[in-house]
Amino acid sequence: MTIFATGAETRVAIVAEVTPGTTPVTPTMLVLPITKLDLELNKNFYEDTSIFGDRMERDVIVGIGKVAGSLSANLSHANYIPLLSTAMFNQPVAKVLKTGTTWNTLTIEEWHLDITKGWVSTGCFVDKLSIKCPVNGLVTFDATINGMNQTTETNSSSS
């Protein structure tokens, strides 16, 4: 029997990384209310097409993996500061976030409580960011996320 995650019991959490691509040893995860998250690990595969006299097929070589996807949310919660810091290449000072030159990365955990399984993406940062501030309504943002790696986990860091 195949078990599918329903999405109704999905929790997304983030934590800032000190070393890009490495989740802190004892992470304090910030749970985010989101409207959409779709991160995937993409890998390129290269087939060795060399011709030898033995008629044997050669190895397939795995290229560099890259996490890519998007995240959308209503910008109404203070937990988005680490995410916005990756887009601005800086940390906030006195609650003000300005453009800088420091590369910040995050670990993003997408945990499905109904199937006790999740995906942890490391080395993630905002590549493109769109913030919409309507006169009447919620402030929303859409972010394109890039990252270094993704693993499947059976234990949540954000419990």
pLDDT in tens, 29-83: 999 888 999 999 998 888 877 777 787 777 788 888 899 999 999 987 677 889 9
What the block records as the tokens of 87 is 């887009």
Q: What CA dihedral angle connects 146, 91, 26 and 65, to 10 degrees?
A: 10
Do the Cβ atoms of 120 and 157 come closer than 8 Å? yes
| E strand segments, 2-148 | 10-17, 30-32, 36-47, 60-74, 105-112, 117-132, 140-147
What the block records as the tokens of 2 is 């195949």
- Report the chain's C-alpha Rg in angstroms: 19
What is the structure's pLDDT at 69? Answer: 95
**Residues found in the chain:** 159
What the block records as the tokens of 116 is 């006790």
- Grouping H, G, I as helix, E, B as strand and the rest as coil, residue 155 is coil
pLDDT level of residue 1 (50, 70, 90 thresholds):
very low
pTM exceeding 0.85 = no
Domain boundaries, the chain: 10-49+57-153
Rounded mean pLDDT, 89-102: 91
- Fold annotation for 10-49+57-153: Pnp Oxidase; Chain A (2.30.110)
Q: Which of 159, 132, 128 is nearest to 146 (CA)?
A: 128
What is the structure's pLDDT at 3? Answer: 52
What are the respective helix, strand and coil percentages of the chain, to the nearest 5? 5, 50, 45
**pLDDT per residue as tens digits for the range 10-28:** 889 999 999 999 999 999 9
What is the structure's pLDDT at 2? Answer: 47
Q: What is the mean pLDDT of the chain?
A: 87
Do the Cβ atoms of 105 and 125 come closer than 8 Å? yes
